[in-house]
A and B are shown apart, each in its own frame.
Chain A
Amino acid sequence: MRPEALVFMIAVFVVCLGGFLYCLFAPEKKRP
């Protein structure tokens, strides 16, 4: 795989998959 394609692929998956997993698992902020 070309390096620029690899970097772009990782970036895209970090945003989408990483964001998805973060929203799914991160604890809700405690409210007063």
Chain B
Amino acid sequence: MKSSDLFASRWGIVFAGLGMAVGTGNLWRFPRIVAQYGGGAFIIPWMIFLFVWSIPLLAIEMAIGKKTRRSVVGSFREMMGEKYTWMGLFTAFVPTAITFYYAVVTGWCLKYFFASAFSGLIQKDTTSYWRLFTSSYEPLIYHVGALVLGCAIIYSGIVKGIERTNKILIPTLFGILLISIVRILTLPGAGAGLNFLFSPNLSLLSDYRVWLNALSQSAWSTGAGWGLMLTYAIYAHRSQNPVRTAATLGLGDNTASLLAATLIVPTVFSYFSGPGFSQDKVMEVLKTDNLGLTFIWIPQLFAKIPGGALFLALFFLALCFAALTSLISQLELIASVFIDAGFTRKRAVLTVGVLCLVMGLPSALSLAFFNNQDWVWGLGLMVNGLFLTFLVLKVGPRKFREEVISTPECPVRLGRWFDFLVGVLLPVQVAVMLGWWFYSAYSGDPEHWLKIFSVSSLGTVFFQWAMAMAVFIFLNRTLNARFKKYET
């Protein structure tokens, strides 16, 4: 790899990685989940899982990308052998399927930023505004806009596109969160929100749902196991320490989540403060789904704040930055697979743009389809974590830590605990997490759990996973021939 293809500095990949990890999930999912599962009590297991799931997987991904200098598919092929290329393709396909609808989400954020900054969103009836918007063709326009923006950035290359964008947007995002927090915490009733958020009610730790949701949140939020960090690591300098970089990203992502919760939870408490205050009303808002909280409730909450219009626009600007920086990492992952298969960057970016535009259309036009894809491929990320763990086990945990994580240019000493982590802890976490989500889906609708054409049944998950795996196993030989042809 030419040095011009690499990140210009250690900070470049750190900011790009932060952009990848800090996404809409930090701003709209974490505050909701932390409030639902006991505030401080939730934060304890969530931080434990950062160290036993997210950081190890991010470090593994980074070490693989640095070693192979190939996309997710090429890396699986090189490290596990030609029989397992399909596994790499599945691992790359899961974030690809997520990108199809994530571009739509980025479009929504852009729309709401423009609406809050220039069209007086704060004075409107937000429920009917959201319904009108999502039932129109407008999401399609913003979907295209988000993809054009994302593709233009990755087309500009690693340093001029991805690194430069993230170095500007990520510090700005943190700055916006901090300024907004200062404003919110000066409101009456906001202190009650902080008390609720940071009171560690340790008795709640006996509830298994607190632990399982903490693991799911950490896994989804940090981007561990997605293959995104593997992709960025292709362009990392040989001297970049994968463990330290993974720790920086994981801790930075957790900080962003905590800042978002410190902004949102006190805002809701302040909204309902005064005579007749009831925590049930607060919880009712915080139990709304991601989209309801963000696009319907947030504008109403900010409407009550002096200067709320400005802070609402800033909130949606932060959301746009979070979504866009994650979207470009996903687009780069898909583009890198095409580049590995012999495409030029220009042709790969064009192909990715058209592919995501077409495949994102159903999600842009139907919320039911969007929710189905979010359910199926969100769970698919657990399989990705399992496949990456399997890759390390196939190579051998000891060999992996001594020859892949540690290199002559960057010696990293990891003890035998790493073997236990990969051989026992990571597989157990995947099994428990998948088992629990499957059981929840089954017990939620025991009569129709196998229905294929349902938004969130187990049947639709198994059907779509099986279809993807069958196609990829069938294509295994063709893929190998193609990759072999363009091997350098």
B120 → A minimal CB distance (Å): 35
Q: Name the residue on A nearest B240 (C-beta).
A: A28
Q: Using Cβ atoms and an 8 Å threshold, which residues of chain B touch A13?
A: 255, 258
Q: Using Cβ atoms and an 8 Å threshold, which residues of chain A touch B197?
A: 5, 9
Q: Name the residue on B nearest A26 (C-beta).
A: B244
B252 and A20 within 8 A (CB): yes
A4 and B411 within 8 A (CB): no
Q: Using Cβ atoms and an 8 Å threshold, which residues of chain A touch B251?
A: 15-17, 19-20, 23
Q: Name the residue on A nearest B200 (C-beta).
A: A8
Within 8 A of B (CB), among A1-32: 1-2, 4-6, 8-9, 12-13, 15-17, 19-20, 23-24, 28, 31
Within 8 A of A (CB), among B231-251: 239, 241, 244, 247-248, 251
Is B14 in contact with chain A by the CB < 8 A criterion? yes
B14 and A31 within 8 A (CB): no
B200 and A4 within 8 A (CB): yes
B194 and A1 within 8 A (CB): yes
Q: How many residues of B contact A (CB 8 A)?
A: 23
Given A1-B194, A8-B40, A9-B194, also A16-B254 (CB < 8 A): yes
Is B84 in contact with chain A by the CB < 8 A criterion? no
A18 CA / B199 CA spacing, docked (Å): 20
Q: Using Cβ atoms and an 8 Å threshold, which residues of chain B touch A23?
A: 244, 247-248, 251
A31 CA / B14 CA spacing, docked (Å): 21
Q: Using Cβ atoms and an 8 Å threshold, which residues of chain B touch A12?
A: 43, 47, 198, 258
A19 CA / B200 CA spacing, docked (Å): 21
Partner of B47, one of A1, A2, A16: A16
Q: Is the interface of B mostly helix, strand, loop or mixed?
A: helix
Within 8 A of A (CB), among B334-366: none
A9 CA / B87 CA spacing, docked (Å): 42
Partner of B248, one of A8, A9, A15, A24: A24
A8 CA / B258 CA spacing, docked (Å): 12
Q: Using Cβ atoms and an 8 Å threshold, which residues of chain B touch A16?
A: 47, 251, 254-255, 258
A23 CA / B251 CA spacing, docked (Å): 9
Is B161 in contact with chain A by the CB < 8 A criterion? no
Is B191 in contact with chain A by the CB < 8 A criterion? yes
A23 CA / B345 CA spacing, docked (Å): 33
B199 and A4 within 8 A (CB): yes
A23 CA / B17 CA spacing, docked (Å): 14
B62 → A minimal CB distance (Å): 13
Q: Using Cβ atoms and an 8 Å threshold, which residues of chain A touch B241?
A: 28
Q: Using Cβ atoms and an 8 Å threshold, which residues of chain A touch B191?
A: 1
Is B195 in contact with chain A by the CB < 8 A criterion? yes
Instruction: Mark interface residues in B251-271 (1 if CB within 8 Å of A CB, else 0).
Output: 110110010000000000000
A25 → B minimal CB distance (Å): 10
Q: Using Cβ atoms and an 8 Å threshold, which residues of chain B touch A20?
A: 248, 251-252, 254-255
A23 CA / B248 CA spacing, docked (Å): 5
A2 and B248 within 8 A (CB): no
A23 → B minimal CB distance (Å): 4
Contacts A16-B254, A20-B254 supplied; 7 other A-B pairs, CB < 8 Å: A1-B191, A5-B194, A5-B195, A8-B43, A12-B43, A12-B198, A16-B255
The 7 closest A-B pairs by CB, nearest first: A23-B248, A20-B251, A9-B198, A19-B251, A5-B198, A16-B254, A20-B252
